[in-house]
Every structure is written in structure tokens, then in C-alpha cells.
Amino acid sequence: MINLSWLLKLNYFRELTFYMYTPFLANTTKYPFGIEIDKAEGTFIYDKNGKKYFDLIAGIAVSNFGHQHPHIIKAIKKQIDKHLHVMVFGEYSQEIQNKLAIEFSKLLPENLNCLYVVNSGTEANEAALKLAKRATKRSRIVAFKGAYHGSTHGSLSVSGNEEKKSAFRPLLPEVFHLPFNDLDSLDFIDKRVAGVIIEPIQGDAGVRIPSKEFLDKLRKICNENCNLLIMDEIQSGMGRTGKLFAFEHFKVIPDILTVGKAFGGGMPIGGLVTSQKLMSLFNNNPTLGHITTFGGHPLSCAGALASIEVLLKEKLLDDVEEKGQLFEKLLNHPSIVEIRRIGLFFAIEMKDKETVQKVVEGCKEYGVLSFWFLSCPESFRIAPPLNISFSEIRQSSKIIRNVMDSL
């Protein structure tokens, strides 16, 4: 049994974490997670005191290939010796951008053959919304309750957590939120709608997996009404679910795909992928319909290209499901209300958010990093690097179970 009496002093410890942060650097919360990072390697993060943590959140589904993967680091260092930023995206021909676009297109359906590289997943979603309006000459956008698409003005408008939105209203007009995975609600979509944006697996809502029937009907309605279907795979992409992209599980192909997070192998990047015909609308009426200074940064593109190479060469998709099943089996515990999972993308639901807080803080104390969901506080997330070993799964699961035993 693990002694969790230290939790009685939780607020005291949280106050102490404040002093790890300079007041000259912004914080996003009054009580940050409070680990002073020294280094990271593979599945592990190390703090300034040398303490070692199993990283079971991978920077919120970013480090899918582990920390400091040697092939990714080598590629980034090689690009450093050539050049860094030279011009806004699209004006100069840069070899690393071209290579990334070519190799990425080989992995995608035929209609997703043109990549616009931006700075983040959120920016990719912003550009996707603009493109939908530009292409259809319509103004309405449909999104879904529980969705998370980012926190900039447009992406926040299509996100579904009202608590996070209310302080910043008014947001974009003519955005309509439908219940997720509700077949009847899709009948709202008509010819006034420019685009429908959806996460094929809702992440921040606590790993919500829709039925194939739901996505099939959504695709059919979008086809009938000429609405552009935008799939946000920023969290679920790059192998997280056991497929390169989650839409492959459902055999429903979007008109526009947005990527980010793990796409860069640890480097900041986002991507908007669609057909060459649709993407060409950004270069006329007006010219520079979407422009980004640092989008397609050479180092980020080098990291992204190397990530694709790692994913394929090491065949990381092959055992994602087996690893997910092992985690699920080992985490079975009477205090768990429900486990929602696809691949290595988990939401572990407990009886309430207070219990989740105790589990997350307890795991951190004993060397395992998990995290909560913004829009599903009664669940905590597990989304480790895809190359986590079976031995590491067993070790980290044992710690989580021991923490739960001590609640």
C-alpha cells in the first residue's frame, strides 16, 4: 500500500510550485503541474532533482515517438546546418518542405494531396474554416458539443466547452453546435452550411468514439449539400489510435484534414491537407488568402519528415492495439467507473473529479505522469509514446493501481 497522507498538504505543495516559475513568464493556471524539467528521453522525463517519471501523456499526444528520438534529433541538427527561416511560407522553394509534402501525400487518400504547413493545429483549424467559407461562399459552420479545436478566436468559436468560451464572447457568428454521435441531429445540416468540423475521436471530451453509422451519415449529408467536411486529427492522428489517422477506422474520408501535435515529432507545427483544387483558392481573390510567417519552418518540417520515417521504418502502428489492450487489462480496478480507449488513447473515468485529482497527483508523486481533461474532469488521460515497451506498460500500470488501492 502506498501512503497518500501527503495529499492532505496538497494545496501547500501546489503553492510551492509557484516558485519554480519566474513572474516574468506567463502562467495558464494558478496551480501549474509543477515539475521542473531537466531532460527527457524515450518514455521518461527527468526533473532537476534527478527524479524519473514515466511520461504517459507524451506532452498531450505530442511525443508519439518518444522524447529525443535519435533519428528525429539527427534530422533537425542536419537542417540547422543548412538554414533556418528564410521567408514567409510559400514564397521560396525549400527542399525540406517539398520532401515533407511528397512523403506525407503518399500516406493519404487521393483527394488529400496538398499540404499547407502552419505553426500549430489551432492555426490549421483556423485556415480550414476560412477555406470552407471561401470555397462554398457560405457563412454557417457546424461543430459539435464537447469538441476542442483550439483557443484562438475562430477555433474557440467551434469548440464546445462553454465554460472556456463565455469570458471571450462574442465569438464568431453563425456557428452551430450539434450533439456528438447523435444521428438525428445531423438533419440540421443544409445548403446554408459552409463546413462541418469534427474530431473523429473527441479528445478533450474524454475520448468519445462515435459510431460508424454517425460518421457515414455525416459524410452522406455533406455530399448531398456540398458542405466541406473538416476532420480535426490533431490529437488522434499520427498513429495514436492504431491507424495513421482515426478516420481510417471508419472508412470515412474528409474533404479537409487538420494535423498538429505529434506531426512534428516534438517540434511546433500544424498542417492543413486538402485537394490541390481546393487549396488553390488561397492564392487568388484574394492573393495570400492565408499567410503565415513561420509556417513551414525548416526545423519543424525536418522533425515532421523524420517522424514519418520513424513511424514507417519502426512499424510503430503494428503493436499499438496490443499495447492498448495490455494497458486496459492491467488497469482494471474496482475504483474505475469506465475505460474508454482506442489504440493508445485512453480516458479513465473515476467517480468524481476529486478522485481524479488524487490519482493524478498520487501518480506524479510516485513517478507516473497522467493528466486530466479540460472538458471531462471526472476522467484522466493516458496517451503514452507509441514506442513505450511492454515492460514499461507493466511497471507504470502497477504504480497506477497501487495509487488507486490507497484512495
pLDDT tens string 147-175: 999 999 999 999 999 999 999 999 999 99
In which residue are the cell numbers 480550414 written?
128
SS3 of residue 212 by DSSP: helix
Q: Position 363: which residue type?
A: C
pLDDT at 111 over 70: yes
pLDDT tens string 37-66: 999 999 999 999 999 999 999 999 999 999
Q: What is the pLDDT of residue 12?
A: 46
Q: What is the pLDDT of residue 27?
A: 84
Cα angle 207, 211, 213 (rounded to 5 degrees) comes to: 155
Q: Identify the structural domains of the chain with CATH numbers, from first to last.
A: 5-68+319-405 (3.90.1150.10), 70-313 (3.40.640.10)
Helices 390-405 and 320-330 sit at what angle, rounded to 10 degrees? 20
Specify whether the CB–CB gap between 347 and 336 falls below 8 A.
no
Specify whether the CB–CB gap between 218 and 157 falls below 8 A.
no
pLDDT at 13 over 80: no
Residue 236 or 12, more confident: 236
Distance of CA 380 to the CA centre of its chain: 15
Give me the sheet containing 256-259, strands edge to edge.
114-118, 270-274, 256-259, 228-232, 193-198, 140-144, 175-178
Distance of CA 196 to the CA centre of its chain: 19
Q: How many CA atoms lie within 13 A of 26 on its CB side?
A: 1
pLDDT tens string 272-308: 999 999 999 999 999 999 999 999 999 999 999 999 9
Containing 376, the helix (H) or strand (E) segment is strand 376-382
Specify whether the CB–CB gap between 305 and 106 falls below 8 A.
no
* Rounded-to-integer distance, Cα 100 and Cα 105, Å: 8
Q: Does the global pTM surpass 0.85? A: yes
Read off the C-alpha cell for 57: 501523456
Specify whether the CB–CB gap between 309 and 71 falls below 8 A.
yes
* Rounded-to-integer distance, Cα 32 and Cα 34, Å: 5
The closest alpha carbon to 348, from 374, 322, 378, belongs to 378
Strands 376-382 and 345-349: what pairing? Answer: antiparallel
